[in-house]
Amino acid sequence: MCGIAGRILNSAGRVGADLVELMDAQEHRGADSTGFAVYGPPLDGEYVLRGMGFDKNRLGKDMDEFRAILHEHGSDFTEDATFTSDDHAHYCARIIIRDPIDLTRWLRDADTLGEHFEIQSCGRSLEIIKDVGSSAAVADKHGVRNMIGTHGLGHARLATESSVLPNASHPFWARPFPDVAIVHNGQITDYFTWREKLMRKGYRFLTENDSELIAVWVSDQIASGLTAAQALKKSISSIDGVFTYMIADRDGIGFAKDRFAMKPLVVVEENGEMAAATEEQAVRRIFSGECDVINYDGPSLTGIWGVGNRSLAA
Amino acid sequence: MSEVVIEVGKRHIREINEEIQAACAAGHKVVVRNTLSRHNLGVGLPDGANVHFEGSVGYYCGGLNDGATITVERNAGWAAGEGMSHGQITIGGYAGMSVGAAMIDGTIHVKGDCGPRVGVAMKGGNIVVEGRIGYQSGFMAHAGKIIALGGAGHSCADALWQGEVWVAGPVDSLGVDVKVVEPSAEEVAEVDAILEPLGLADSSRNWRKMISGQRLWYFESRDASAWLMI
């Protein structure tokens, strides 16, 4: 059992604060870790990275190595990186870089540092913040409530398939595609088979989490030319297990539900804004008055909501 | 019978339920306000209690009901009336997944549509739905009746035991091991007697009564393909 959420605003605003509320209302669904994907004002010629180092005593060495690889790819930090840590061994980093010559090649090299330092999101706009602890604890530590953006995702994790580790929490970035993130509620049962298939195709898995498969699987579909809407539909017959997952990019948020209709999704759309969550009581934190609530309770459903009233019918 | 108003908001659910129970024990009619779709409201209410929830409620509302009359103004989340043994629950709008799950007796009346698996594993009582029942409704119902006036979704009456699913209106598809039978006049009269007090009796309905084909009651390896229908 996990809790997921999505939020779209009419224009850039305090989407971080809304996501924290949506996840706080669902803390009982999984309080071991919480994560957020926030789509902020887009950068031009630069990428914003979020990453995690597993030993804060190694921070200086990690950054030296990371920067050396950036230099090899014609890139560098464009401003000072910021770091967050507490009593835990790990630290989190926010880094802005100039565009590398080839993003995919740079990432392949940067991922060789994965044992010590892992890139968890990369985009013009996307920033993934994830850590162990409740919604309020992660929000306080990382200043999520002050994050400005147009839309985003949230996730509360109850680890069932792998360990409680800060990097095994959601959202997952669909590397190497900038600005694509997923959150998932459920279990993927053919995870090992798919993981092996995708690893043979050269994809890299950073965690033991079954949900990471969805991010990698979606990457593979995008790479083979499918749109997000097509990938969502295809996933229902391709991936085995119970799931409601949401995928976001700069244009909007989409979802897919398994063919057994096991995991809920509740949505309120009002005046071009959208709030989606596993439980209705969470969307009530945003829309407390009477409003039309859509229960996506049926099997094999997909849908996409566009940002800024853009029509993106699935 | 005087009326007591109880406010939900962000308060702890246990505290709210204790207040509801105390008001019911004192013989008051209870109105619960500002429910904000919170979960577990009005669980385990006693015989004779009368509780109305304004707005929408979350999961498990009216669960383990022991004879109370419960009304929900708008929608209910998952498993409203789960495991109830007596009484009546009326839901004004939509009822989420597994309404009446494992209920033993009593009546649940849903005025709107329902989510998947209405009456999953129910052991008695009646669920009356004015709208449409969702995917796999009646899944493994042991006894009791699910009566849908507005049709049914896919995999209807899947893997029934001795429960019955009655549908007026279109059915997307039948579940595994379902037998659609012609109901006798006495059986239709029985269903109308359930609908009558709800103001829903209508002798012109074209019913489809679904019962178990009894093929899945005993596992036979030659039937494995039916079990593995997924």
DSSP string, A40-93: -SPPSSEEEEEEEES-GGGHHHHHHHHHHHHHHTT--BSS--EEEE-SSS-EEE
Residues of A (264-293) whose Cβ lies below 8 Å from B: 264, 279-281, 283-284, 288, 290, 293
Delimit the domains of chain A by residue range: 3-42+153-309, 43-124
B-chain residues near A284 (CB < 8 A): 36-37
Shortest Cα distance from A110 to chain B (angstroms)? 42
Over the stretch A240-265, which tens digit does the pLDDT of each residue have? 999 999 999 999 999 999 999 999 99
Phi, psi angles (nearest 5°) of residue A280? -60, -35
Indicate yes or no: CB of B74 within 8 angstroms of CB of A264: no
- Structure token digits, residue A47: 């990428």
B-chain residues near A290 (CB < 8 A): 55, 74
Shortest Cα distance from B103 to chain A (angstroms)? 20
Please name the member of A264, A295, A299 whose beta carbon is closest to the beta carbon of B135. A299
Give me the pLDDT at residue A66, please: 98
3-state secondary structure of A198: helix
Over the stretch B16-49, which tens digit does the pLDDT of each residue have? 999 999 999 999 999 999 999 999 999 999 999 9
Please name the member of B39, B117, B134 whose beta carbon is closest to the beta carbon of A281. B39
The residue of chain B with its CA nearest to that of A293 is: B75
Give A313's pLDDT tier (boundaries 50, 70, 90): very low
Residue of B203 and A300 predicted with greater confidence:
A300
Are A3-42+153-309 and A43-124 the same fold in CATH? Answer: no
Amino acid (1-letter code) at residue A96: I
Give me the pLDDT at residue B228, please: 65
Q: How many whole angstroms separate alpha carbon A54 and alpha carbon A89?
A: 6
Mean pLDDT computed over A227-248: 95
Please name the member of A261, A279, A288 whose beta carbon is closest to the beta carbon of B58. A279
Annotate B108-131 with b (16+ C-beta within 10 A) or e (fewer).
bbbbbbbbbbbbbbbbbbbbbbbb
Fold of the domain spanning A3-42+153-309: Glutamine Phosphoribosylpyrophosphate, subunit 1, domain 1 (3.60.20)
The residue of chain A with its CA nearest to that of B74 is: A290
Indicate yes or no: CB of B59 within 8 angstroms of CB of A279: yes
The residue of chain B with its CA nearest to that of A289 is: B36
Give me the pLDDT at residue A145, please: 98
Determine contact, residues A211/A220, Cβ cutoff 8 Å. Answer: no
Over the stretch B146-201, which tens digit does the pLDDT of each residue have? 999 999 999 999 999 999 999 999 999 999 999 999 999 999 999 999 999 999 99
CATH class given for the domain over A43-124:
alpha beta
Please name the member of B56, B134, B230 whose beta carbon is closest to the beta carbon of A298. B134
Give me the pLDDT at residue B229, please: 59
Give me the pLDDT at residue A272, please: 86
B-chain residues near A288 (CB < 8 A): 36
Give the catalytic positions of A in this structure.
2
